[in-house]
Chain A
Amino acid sequence: MMPVTLVAQPVASPHAHGGNSVRRTMIRVQAALVPATLYGFWLYGWPSFFLWCLTLGACLGFEALSLKLAGNTRIRASLLDGSAALTGWLLAMTLPPWAPWWVAVLGGFIAIVIGKQVFGGLGQNVFNPAMVARVALLVSFPLPLTQWVQPLPMIHLPAPDLVEGLRIFLTSLPLPDAMTSATLLGHSKTELSRGVDLLQVLAASQTPALSWLGMRAGSFGESAAVLIFAGGLYLLITRVISWHTPLAVLAGVAIPAAIGHAIDPGRYLSVEAHVLSGALMLGAFFIATDYVTSPNTGSGQIVFGLGVGFLTWIIRTVGGYPEGMAFAVLLMNSLTPVIDRFIKPRILGRDRKGRPLDVPEPEGT
């Protein structure tokens, strides 16, 4: 506690505060991620735990380093506000669970240094740092970033133990084919490009199943959609986020998916497949709702969310990549200043264009 000194400089009202803080907000978001993360550890074993630890550690380390180089005197306070840890956490949620160690370190560097600190630090970045890192890694190192391991719950016999997990994590040898699997989106994309009809693809036995509970290949943020959704609900109830962005993102994917699927189920995946696949749940509740890089008004957030959802669907359906959430978020991030410029709340006593309201004619005259 700071010592109470005689006030030298006058301070303006208010002389009370609601008690919210950056730290509290960040901790709540992290708390909302805990169930899905623990479940992910259980599903994917020790290598995923090491990956998670190192991604967070790398983000915190690079944050501290950047702040030190920038001559910041409040390094400790900045690290404790939890923003760098959250970035690392979100990045870890989107990486393949058995990704090697250097992916974590490089990802942390790209997210914190290139994605955030070069823009001026917390609150100044244009793009979501975790998504910048994810996209940069995906574009630069497509192989390790698309190797999705089959879930091997820790209790299973073939699951790597602690030492084996460390070996997998550090040696970055390619995984044996038997342990990997494509995600549903990836599989359908490959098959579609080979000219196989989706109806046949989905009927085939080797097709990854769709599951709310996550017994399928994918990242942490993909596997347990129901836990991510629960975390999102917690954020909504605690008012960390508002309903606008998540609902708009889900609607932005679901509406075109429903139309497409109704027209040609052979070419377009169903709404369910879209909503439960890829990083959509995580994106809707945790990524697109990032304060810094999304619009400030409810209406702006709806526009932003619809854009993210629709672009995701477009990229998934006609783009080169099976998953497009990260690209869609980055594209819409770049539009955020424009949305904020054009969508402003109406000022009381003024019309939408900012002109004062007309004085009504007095009644009875």
Chain B
Amino acid sequence: MGFMNLFKQLLGDDWGVHPDDHKGPAADQPLRVMPVPARLYLPLQQHLGSAARPCVLVGQQVKKGELIAEAQGMVSAPLHAPTSGTITAVTEITAPHPSGLSLPAIILEADGSDTWIDLSGCEDPFALTPMEIGKRVAAAGVVGLGGAAFPSAVKLTGASRAKVTTLVMNGGECEPYLSCDDRQMRDQAAGIVDGIRIMLHATGATEALVGIEDNKPEAIAAMQAAAAGVANVRICPVPARYPMGSEKQLIHVLTGKEVPADGRAFDIGVVVHNVGTALAMRAAIREGKPLISRIVTVNGACAAQPGNIEVRIGTLAEEVIAFAGGIKGDGIGLARRVMGGPMMGMQIPHWRVPVVKGTSGILAFNATEVAEQSPDPCIRCGSCVKACPMGLLPLEMSARIRNEAFDEAIGLGLKDCIACGCCAYVCPSKIPLVQYFVHAKGELAAQDRAKLRNDATKKLAQQRQERLDREAREKAEAAAKRKAEREAAAAAKAAAEAAKAAATVNPETQGESA
């Protein structure tokens, strides 16, 4: 591989970076299962799309697996009680987000019995229609467990409608430090392959390509053994290189196809799912179990006992870390708390934020790992250009954004940026390039919203003016009408009086004339 990499580098095909993977020792520790904590914090929005709507009342008793919030809209996912207990509040809690803002959540007090609701599994998933599988997956609240948390059922049904041919399974796990997918592939390879077969059935794809980075030989071996008898599931080791687990890059490496910039994977007949999602989907179909727990990697130099832990959704990161063995030295030397991976994960303000469906890791970094430093000027070395897996010019884009020239940044491809972090990782001047891009994307979205609002305001003002005009006109018309009526009435009255007068006069005249 070394020679091939050198050759590719000479040809200039050297996107991405090769960070120290820091997978061990967490990856080699056996999976630990964390007991249910006393209280669970369940944000209503744990997925991409619109938030779920609570369908329980405060004080209500729920069983494990019971629906507590239902999906709202086309792209959404429902939420289920991860254990049995009482709903104590629907309130705002700190979001697992760098802003430290709050988001609405359901708080569930565990009763300790952890009793399941009646589950209705399915003996033979291959007898179900793809539509039926999609419905069941949607009802189980399964979302992509790789990190983006896109509702899986939407992808499944979309894929079967778009008639995709290839199912790409993402076992890349290219983020350093994380090993939850690795652990699952080693421990539950047979289950994953079964899940992949169900997915193949549901999407109508003819073959599944499982991309696993070659720095995980145990996982590759386990998956190859499990897929040995399955004809249309192929295990494809891919070179370890960040961001190999990014959708567009993995598709390109495995199938040689490129997703068009304005299109989606469906357009080229491919759908991508995470290997962990395959397990969750299998549980949803075969056993009828909704997604109520996931595997989280606890890692980082400050974590006393790194490892993979199965936790219930809604458990506070604080409690997960305490269960894992706590923070070294009571948090002295802890420089940053991160949820997700080090390259794309989110900094969180404190540990009292819950694990959500998309949380793949809880990382406690010291100052050396974070390497925070005030940035130097850009020396135009071009490292970021070589590292960018999308072929962008990060140094030019950030220079434009620094001058608030967002339109020029878009012209350079800002909208194609996947925020993978390669550019900032290699930057010798330590310029926070990704922050520039995220900031610009946020500002652009805000400007779009402001523009929409401005247009709406204009329309409202115009409508008001029209209403005022109409009212004035109607008033005038009504006044005119009343006047006309009054005049008509007066005229009629006058005519009648005249006629009456004439009538009273006439006989006389007649009489006179007679």
Contact = CB atoms under 8 A, between A and B. Distances in A.
A14 B393 contact: no
Interface in A1-34: 1-2, 4, 7, 10-22, 24-25
Given A296-B393, A345-B393, A349-B259, A15 B17 contact: no
Interface string A349-363: 110001011111011
A327 interface: no
Nearest to B266: A359
A122 interface: yes
Contact of A16 (B249, B269, B342): B342
A233 to B, nearest CB: 15
Contact of A13 (B344, B367, B377, B413): B344
Contact of A123 (B263, B379, B426): B379
B100 interface: yes
Interface in B440-454: none
Interface string B361-402: 001010101111000111111110110111111011000000
A203 interface: no
B333 interface: yes
Contacts of B343: 13-16
Given A11-B435, A359-B260, A20 B268 contact: no
Contact of B100 (A10, A292, A349, A358): A10
A291 B380 contact: yes
Interface stretch (B60-68, B211-219, B416-424): B416-424
A266 interface: no
Interface magnitude class on chain B = 35 or more
Interface centre among B396, B425, B430 (most CB of A within 10 A): B425
Given A297-B382, A348-B248, A123 B428 contact: no
Contact of A291 (B382, B419, B427, B434): B382
A16 B419 contact: no
Contact of B260 (A10, A243, A356): A356
A298 interface: yes
Interface in B1-30: 10, 12, 17, 19
B378 A15 contact: no
Interface in A316-365: 340, 344-350, 354, 356-360, 362-363
Given A11-B347, A348-B416, A359-B267, A16 B369 contact: yes
B162 to A, nearest CB: 8
Contact of A347 (B176, B338, B379, B413): B413
A123 B380 contact: yes
Contact of B390 (A22, A299, A347): A347
B452 to A, nearest CB: 25
B429 interface: yes
A22 B261 contact: no
Contacts of B334: 4
A55 interface: no
B425 A14 contact: yes
B336 A348 contact: no
A14 B342 contact: yes
A129 to B, nearest CB: 13
B370 A346 contact: no
B391 A346 contact: yes
Contacts of A243: 10
Contacts of A7: 336, 347, 349
Contacts of B17: 18
B434 A13 contact: yes
* Interface majority SS (helix, strand, loop, mixed), chain B: loop
Contacts of B379: 22, 25, 83, 122-123, 291-292
Nearest to B177: A16
Contact of A345 (B268, B380, B392): B392
A197 interface: no
B83 to A, nearest CB: 32
Contacts of B429: 21-22
Contact of B12 (A2, A22, A81, A298): A298
B438 interface: yes
Given A358-B260, A359-B268, A20 B383 contact: yes
A24 B98 contact: no
A6 to B, nearest CB: 9
Nearest to A123: B377
A259 to B, nearest CB: 26
A35 interface: no
Contacts of B257: 360
A17 B430 contact: yes
Contacts of A256: none
B434 A12 contact: yes
A57 interface: no
Interface string B25-65: 00000000000000000000000000000000000000000
A265 interface: no
Contact of B376 (A12, A22, A242, A295): A22
Interface centre among A14, A242, A358, A359 (most CB of B within 10 A): A14
5 contacts: A12-B432, A15-B342, A348-B261, A357-B263, A358-B260
Interface of A: 1-2, 4, 7, 10-22, 24-25, 77, 81, 83, 121-124, 242-243, 291-292, 295-299, 340, 344-350, 354, 356-360, 362-363
Interface of B: 10, 12, 17, 19, 98-100, 163, 165, 176, 248-249, 252, 257-263, 267-269, 333-336, 338, 342-347, 349, 363, 365, 367, 369-372, 376-383, 385-386, 388-393, 395-396, 413, 416, 419, 421, 424-430, 432, 434-435, 438-439
Which are the 10 A-B pairs with shortest beta-carbon distances?
Answer: A14-B421, A10-B98, A296-B382, A12-B435, A349-B261, A17-B371, A356-B261, A345-B391, A356-B262, A357-B260
